[in-house]
Structure 1
Amino acid sequence: MSNLKVVLTTGDIDGIGFEVTAKALHKLGPQKGVQFFLWRSENASAKYLKMLDQKFTRIVVDSLEEGLKVEGPYLVDIASENSPAEWVEVTAKACFKKQVHAMATAPLSKTSIKEAGFKDLGHTDILKRISKTKHVHMGFAGDKFNVVLATGHLPVSKVSKHLSFSAVAEAVLHANQLRENLAIADRKKPIAVLGLNPHAGEDGLIGQEELLIFPNLRSFAKEHGIPIEGPLVPDAAFFPVNWKKYSVYVALYHDQGLIPFKMIHGQDSGVHISLGIPFVRTSVDHGTAKDIFGKNTANANSMTDAIRWAIKLARQH
């Protein structure tokens, strides 16, 4: 195939997105068979532009549409006056139309999205709207273990009512998509599905959710040829001895999966992958970190991972 077109959005202008993206590209350098497109503010730091120029020949344009006309081994630098939320929307539309092959995103605050006039609550809602996809799950790939969240940004008080057999089954299907993109040895390992309640419900003594979900879930997984184990006791599931037993953990709510994932991986590794949309989108697994904007102290490892995974998944897509 011709060069993969991978688009990078750098998120909030007053966050660390452009810094970590420039550092990640500098670390990776040009990639064989890949053309990068970089969205950034017109007022982006000259220091990081010079960093990019050490590794890439940069062509500056003011829109993705103009950038797609550029041919050759260039970094297409989109210096835009538009909102960072619009960068994501335009890129998602290009991905959906197969004009580009993948997108990797730096942190974008919900405030920035709202200020752009969007009703979406985050990246995922923008992607769902553009692709007309109903079920999208957040996946997180790390050096130690991988996690998929069965529910997303829900208040804890609403988690239980949103958990049904069908909701968890959909998450298992998407966890299996992630499993199939792991190293060969990891693809052979089962998916671990956590319980919701302490002690995974103790056979109904501490909550009924596990009894309502798991009997049908086991039948569903067997029918689809997906190896699963569960419900795992949540407070013991992430012991290091378990990391190599499972391909992916399915956590039933946001913090159940992301507290252990971020505690173990910190800023040294980890990438967020959107599962269920009909194109490739990866992202950092951290926020905008506006408190360190301009200090040149941001760790770019997660963005580096996000770019690597975007290329890997685009080649397999």
Structure 2
Amino acid sequence: MLKIAITSGDSDGIGLEIAEKALLKMGPQKGAHFLIWRSASSFPRNLKKLDKKFKLVSFASPLKALNYLLSAEMKANQLVEIVSEESPALWVQQTAVWCQQKQLHGMVTGPLSKTEIYRAGLQDMGHTDILKRISRSQKVHMGFLGNKFNVVLNTAHIPLSKVSTSMNVVDLLSGIEAANALRKMLPVAQQKKPIGVLGLNPHAGEEGLIGIEEREFVTKALNEAAKAKIPVLGPLVPDAAFLEENWKKYSVYLALYHDQGLIPFKAIHGQKSGVHVSLGIPFVRTSVDHGTAKDIFGKNKAIANSMIDAIQACLRLAKSSIK
């Protein structure tokens, strides 16, 4: 039986709303039990509706909740809930520890702000840094699965001014390997397509006229990847790579920095689809591909599609990981 935890993110964001809506639509899943974290200060809108599909079992103690989830008392239609006074950032940290200890098979995270992480006293810049620290993983990349195209980010939350100076062949190869790992998670037909590696500069450097990074690093990394029999193409011209006619050409796009990949991904997929997958950690973590949307908090306007996709992807990947 798969054990999956859901952290609902900032208490004044839409995380709990979309988690409730997702669970309400999905209902109990065969072969899986869920645990969900929420703030003690939250007022869940859909709890009464959820009661029609799940029997909620609430705990204030995270350890007692986990023990119940793992016990023979846990039934197929039950949903374990942790009503917590702690910061949502600490929920992520604790859940990652449980996953690292193999107490859980996977985790799904709702949107968490950098401000909330800071308030919790953590030095991490986001979910990825928390997971990297807990799992002691050296190379962790952010991957995004969409119904139009898929993206992996070579760098995450670093200033744009540092992207070029942080670039080297070894790091680019790490990003290509992460993209290749995501490629292997896709349906067989998509797996057969190459990874499209973006250039850094306009026009992919125009043969060195608009920057040397493509010539110095990108092309060399592509050659090394080809030697390792990883299917790659590039460097692609960044402003043309994401045109609709190119979506079906590649299994995954490797973007060289955060916004290069996420601006087109979020512009196309929005909140209607899209799953964030952490690549390079020893357990399954998926997430929504959008932020806290605090401007619509409490208005029952949030779209739960990305959370549904994230939960379904976590179930699929967790099942595959224990075969």
Matching of residue 303 in structure 1 with residue 301 in structure 2: no
Unaligned runs of 5+ in 2: 69-73
Q: Paired residue for 1:39?
A: 37
Query: What is aligned with 1:23?
Result: 21
Structure 1 position 125, deviation (Å) = 1.0
Matches within 5 A, 1:219-234: 219-234=223-238
Q: What letter matches 1:72 in structure 2?
A: K
The equivalent of 1:105 in structure 2 is 109
Root-mean-square deviation (Å): 1.1
Which residue pairs with 1:4 in the alignment?
2
SS across alignment from 2:10: coil
TM-fit CA distance, 1:69: 2.5
Q: Is the 1:22–1:51 contact (alpha carbons within 8 Å) kept by the matching residues of 2?
A: no
Q: Deviations over 1:91-124 (max 9, x none)?
A: 0000001000000000111111111111111111
Q: How many residues align?
A: 315
Please state how far the C-alpha of 1:78 moved relative to its aligned partner.
1.0
Query: Map of 1:144-293 to 2, 5 A cutoff?
Result: 144-293=148-297
- 1:201-235: CA deviation from partner (whole Å, max 9, x where unpaired): 11111110001123322332123221000000111
Name the structure 2 match of 1:13: 11
Alignment check: 8 A CA contact 1:25 1:52 kept = yes
CA contact (8 A) 1:23 1:51 kept: no
- Counterpart code for 1:12: D
Q: TM-score, normalised by structure 1?
A: 0.97
Aligned match of 1:72: 75
Q: Helix, strand or coil: the match of 2:67?
A: coil
Instruction: Please give the secondary structure, in 1, of the residue aligned with 2:46.
Output: helix
Alpha-carbon distance in structure 2 between the residues aligned to 1:221 and 1:52:
48
Residue 259 (structure 1) shift = 0.9
**Alignment partner of 1:84 is 2:104:** no
In the alignment, is the contact (CA less than 8 A) between 1:138 and 1:152 conserved in 2?
Answer: yes
| Deviation at residue 138 of structure 1 after TM alignment | 0.7
Which deviations, in whole Å up to 9, do the C-alpha atoms of 1:20-39 show, x marking residues without a partner? 10001111111110100000
* Unpaired runs of at least 5, structure 1: none
1:166 CA drift (Å): 1.0
Report SS of the residue matched to 1:169.
Answer: helix
Q: Is the 8 A contact 1:187 1:247 kept in 2?
A: yes
Corresponding residue SS for 1:119: coil
Shift of residue 43 of structure 1?
A: 3.0
Q: Which moved more, 1:59-68 or 1:259-268?
A: 59-68
What is the SS of the residue equivalent to 1:315? Answer: helix
